Chains A and B, each alone.
Chain A
Amino acid sequence: MKAWKILAIVLVGYSLYAGLMFDVPRLVILNETIRNLYFHVPMWFSMIALLGGSLAYSFRFLRSGTEGQPSNLDRDNQARSFAEVAMVFAMLGLFTGMIWAKATWGAYWTADPKLQGTAVTLLIYAAYFILRTSIDDPEKRARLAAVYNVFAFVLMIVFIGILPRMTDSLHPGNGGNPAFGNYDLDNGMRMVFYPAVLGWILMGWWIATLRVRLERLRYRNNH
């Protein structure tokens, strides 16, 4: 087993234990739900990292078919697997966020830029997966999906970027609400939060590579 996989296990294990057991600041409204920071926020970091990986593989797939070379369908497999695992992380981030929102804001869903950004991300990638299922020729499917993936990713980032400037927000880091990093996050929390982020990104990457390898085996079995 490679070192980074061991690191992923250690960091996620540490963040699970420390996130539930270590001391946290006592804050009004937030109370003990502040611990969700260790679980909710890393999901989003992991999702963006995995979508970034998916984007890179899509672009590499498109490049692989030029200059008379045959296109490399394995790149498409990688792009799809990374997007799939990213969506699992998006769901986890959404659910942990909804529970947190119910506890602190009083409702599972608000018309909040961060939530809308999430909803749009899920819609865009749902469209990506539907696009994939509606084309039969693998070569063509891979090409159209890769083109859509790159196009959609950039517009999604634009959306997430401009949205908070358009509306007010309850979410930390938007609309006058400070992010946790500014002053709420004390040094004790930092020591759990950053390892949790790194650990979950590595864990997500690992799951995605497993998915890639599974698909390779399936492909080899069928051909």
Chain B
Amino acid sequence: MARLSSAQPYLCAVIRPQAIRQMLRWEWELEYRRSNGWFLPVLFAAMVAYLCSLLVREPSPTVWLALLWMTIVFSALQTASRSFSASAGQWLYLNQIVQPIELLLGKTMSTAGSSLLVTWTGLLLFGLWLGWPHIPETDASVATWPFLVSISLGAIAISATLSFTAALASKMDRGTGMMAILSLPLLLPTLLVSMRASKLALLGETPLVLYPNWAGEILMAAIPLALGGLLFPYLWRS
């Protein structure tokens, strides 16, 4: 793969699918095959879910959903804060094969993948330990797939913001502690939209009502990515 000079104009950089594929393969090798790195956030999610089940017995649907989102957010935070930690030698290699924008996109994709894994694990364990929330007003036959879509889109949107703040924190001297402070205020709009989408899905609303909220979730994934595309090259210089 030809090495691209970092001095080329950033805004019109072309994203090469091959470079992204290369990166994802690299992530897969490092995270899932050669180490147990992926297991850490999953274990974290499981622990938080179990803690929730100990602290609350038969929560109301709102509380259940709030606890689920808290679990998802903090597990995703764990996932994302690991995503930009690599040794100097690994960075040297990565910076040779990909451009900054491709790096951000690839990292966001791998973080989103890990976050989805964590989210679904959390959801499964919530269903197991806390039970599925019981909503009195609706009949029992509420489809679960709209809820799954809402949760999954929310996890992807959260990963988009977190990947960028993780990159920022990785450039700082005391970055790990800063990660939560930098990202949590920025996650609030995403969380509000996702919370609303998942709540409506849980109440058994028709997809017609849900589509605008899903569009909102997709938008909340697109905005940080677009901003990241604009800003990441400045961040990654040095």
Contacts and interface: CB of A to CB of B under 8 A. Distances in A.
A144 B227 CA distance: 14
B155 interface: no
A151 B238 contact: no
Interface in A80-114: none
Contacts, number: 76
Interface residues of A, number: 27
B86 interface: no
B4 interface: no
Interface stretch (B24-32, B108-116, B131-139, B186-194): B186-194
A147 B185 contact: no
Contacts of A144: 168, 171-172, 235
Interface string A39-81: 0000000000000000000000010010000000000000000
Contact of A130 (B168, B181, B227): B181
B10 to A, nearest CB: 9
Contacts of B220: 158
A134 B173 contact: yes
Nearest to B193: A162
A127 interface: yes
Interface in A109-159: 120, 123-124, 127, 130-131, 134-136, 140, 143-144, 146-148, 150-152, 154-155, 158-159
Contacts of B230: 150
Contact of B224 (A120, A147, A155): A155
A164 B171 CA distance: 35
Contacts of B204: none
A162 B216 contact: yes
A143 B235 contact: yes
B235 A130 contact: no
Interface in B171-213: 171-174, 178, 181-182, 184-186, 188-189, 192-193, 196
A163 interface: yes
B67 interface: no
Contacts of B184: 123
B172 A131 contact: yes
A152 B161 CA distance: 10
Contacts of B19: none
A217 to B, nearest CB: 28
Considering the complex of A and B, which 5 residue pairs feature the smallest CB-CB distances, nearest first? Answer: A123-B185, A159-B189, A124-B185, A62-B234, A147-B235
